[in-house]
Amino acid sequence: MNTFKRKALFTAVVAGLGVAGSAEAVYLSPNRTGQALVYPYYTVQSAGNNSWNTYLSVVNTTTAAKAVKVRVLEGRTSAEVLDFNLYLSPNDVWTAAIVPSASGDTAAGMLITADVSCTQPAIPTGGVVFRNFAYDTPTTTADSMPGRGLERTREGYVEILEMGRLAGPAAAAVTHSAGVPDDCSVVQTDTFAPVVGVDIFPPTGGLMGTGTLINVNNGLDATYKADALDGWSDLVNFSGSGFVTPNLANANPPVSLVIRSGDIDPATGASTLITAYRSDFVGGVLASAGARAVASVFMHNAVMNEYVLDAATASATDWVLTQPVKNQFVRTGATETPYTALATSAGSCEFISFTFFDREERFATAAGGDFSPRPAPTGSLCWESTVLSIRNVAGSVAASEVLGSRNMTNVSVSTFQNGWARLSFTGTNATTTGLPSVGATRTSLGTDATGFAGTVVASPVTFLGLPVTGFMVRTFQNGGLTCAAGTCQGNYGGLFSHSYQTTITP
């Protein structure tokens, strides 16, 4: 199918669902711009005695000033470690870095920036250290369960959410003139409360962002684009700095749009069908309807990527697996589907299987304490942002080899030095109950000799698996290399987004 037909087919599917220009639905934007951004991983952990830093950027690609929430979440239970409001000028770029606050593996992470865009509170020149107030005392939630030290702040993920489009004096105050905002003090008071319909209007999207994981002393750098959710909200979601709202669970209305491509046409056996699901959700005991809508756009029953462990280049591979709304479904003593495991001091551990292949199609299933055959009652992916450390030797380790993650699971791929793998979610609820909608309009479309042909079905559907995003990072170490000026360090690496399998029934 040529490019023109693919675009036309996508448009036809969405129009058939009635979501084009007529109804709101949250979806993962194929254009990588949107109202809400998810940065799947940040780290200041050490690998090889050298610390990682994480650089972040967010770009306002529109001509409107925007109020956005920046929320940094640690990786074990998604407890908040830093929250502030950021005010973006039209066409603005805001940058910051997450670095260690001190030497040693127990020092907190901290955020520093040289950017002049307005924030509330204002970020000091020396930066702001992450804090553990959200999980440092026992509570009835899962936040405090797996330890309460500042070391938990050293890795996790980031949300940046558009709260609304500014207008009037507030917009003028944060808009840059000659490279600096006109008057940040207007938005930096605790009493700043823009009036809906006067000073602030619903979000219009157009945000994009990047993350950079850099370890200078190890000679490594890996970059990614933030996941972008569009259609996330048709309401103003403004709150002052320090409030836990808005968050990803505040999607409104609680409706999602998921496009599944590559479906098999039963008449031809070819993967020429595309199916779109516009699904409605209601809240449960724990997770709100909005949380379920956001979860559905990240739902996958399997994650796939490559690995490299070549002895000649001392290469290593880590997979980052982040579940950005897991904290909405898991509490101390209670868990809602699609999750199965309860939260304990070891985390909330979901069962998985891990099948891997070398480059010549030989395959095996990972073995060891964390994988099939696996001992009850714990599973393998215990944290909300987990790093899967892929190794070709068995044994327990304290940190992942590439990223130095402490929120990690170790998996041995025996003697296969390179290839690819499939991680499947095998928990009871992930494979049976899943994430059900209360209503859906399902459109399947393909092409025939005369153009587009398809069907529309209205009925509830179920998304199987778990909500997940992330990437693979691999490194190569070639030791000292001869350069014009002498000897150079021969290390390099790369980052690749995951591929997925998605199962939606019926």
Query: Could you say which DSSP state residue 172 is in?
Result: H
> Is-above-0.85 flag for pTM?
yes
pLDDT of 305 reads 97
What is the predicted pLDDT for the residue at 266?
80
The most confident of 204-213, 370-379, 451-460, by mean pLDDT: 204-213
| DSSP per-residue letters across 445-463 | EEEETTEEEEEEEE---EE
User: pLDDT of 153-191, one tens digit each?
Assistant: 999 999 999 999 999 999 999 999 999 999 999 999 989
What is d(CA 67, CA 488) in angstroms, rounded to the nearest whole number? 45
Question: Which tens digits make up the pLDDT trace of 460-472?
Answer: 999 999 999 999 9
Q: Is the pLDDT at 379 greater than 70, yes or no? A: no
| 191 backbone dihedrals φ, ψ, rounded to 5° | -90, 0
**pLDDT exceeds 80 at position 449:** no
Distances (CA, A) of 171 to 49, 71, 183, 335: 46, 22, 10, 42
Rounded distance, CA 491 to CA 400, Å? 18
Distance CA 283, CA 300 (A): 21
Residue 378 has pLDDT above 80, yes or no: no
Confidence grade of residue 4 (pLDDT, cut at 50, 70, 90):
very low
* Euclidean distance between CA atoms 66 and 200, whole angstroms: 9
The per-residue pLDDT of the chain, averaged, comes to 88
pLDDT in tens, 98-156: 999 999 999 999 999 999 999 999 999 999 999 999 888 766 666 767 788 999 999 99
The per-residue pLDDT for 454 is: 63
Return the pLDDT at 324. 95
* pLDDT tens-digit readout, 290-337: 999 999 999 999 999 999 999 888 899 999 999 999 999 998 889 999
93 burial type by CB count under 10 A (0-12 exposed, 13-18 middle, 19+ buried)? middle
In percent, the amount of the chain with pLDDT more than 90 equals 67
Q: Say if residues 263 and 444 touch (Cβ distance below 8 Å).
A: yes
Residue 489 pLDDT greater than 80, yes or no: no
Contacts of 294 (CB under 8 A, 6+ apart): 26, 229, 232, 248, 249, 251, 256, 324, 325, 467
Residue 360 in 3-state DSSP?
A: coil
pLDDT value for 484: 77
Closest CA to 194 of 34, 87, 290: 87
CA diameter of the chain: 68
pLDDT tens track for 7-40: 555 555 566 665 444 458 999 999 999 999 999 9
Three-state DSSP state, 129: strand
Dihedral of the alpha carbons of 455, 289, 347, 36, in degrees to the nearest 10: 80
pLDDT at 383 over 90: yes
Range in 25-39, 194-208, 384-398 the model is least confident about: 384-398
Q: What is the pLDDT, as a whole number, of residue 103?
A: 93
The whole-angstrom separation of Cα 398 and Cα 292 is 34
Whether 3 has a pLDDT exceeding 50, the answer reads no
Cα-only R_g, the chain: 23
DSSP reduced 3-state for 82: strand
Q: Which two tokens stand for residue 308?
A: 């490299």
Q: Would you state the torsion angle of the CA atoms of residues 123, 84, 38, 103, taken in this order, to the nearest 10 degrees?
A: 50
What's the pLDDT score for residue 453?
56
pLDDT per residue over 238-276, tens digit each?
999 878 889 999 999 999 999 988 888 787 888 888 889
Phi-psi bin for 443: left (phi > 0), alpha (psi -120 to 50), beta? beta
Give the tens place of pLDDT for each residue, 42-99.
999 999 889 999 999 999 999 999 999 999 999 999 999 999 999 999 999 999 999 9
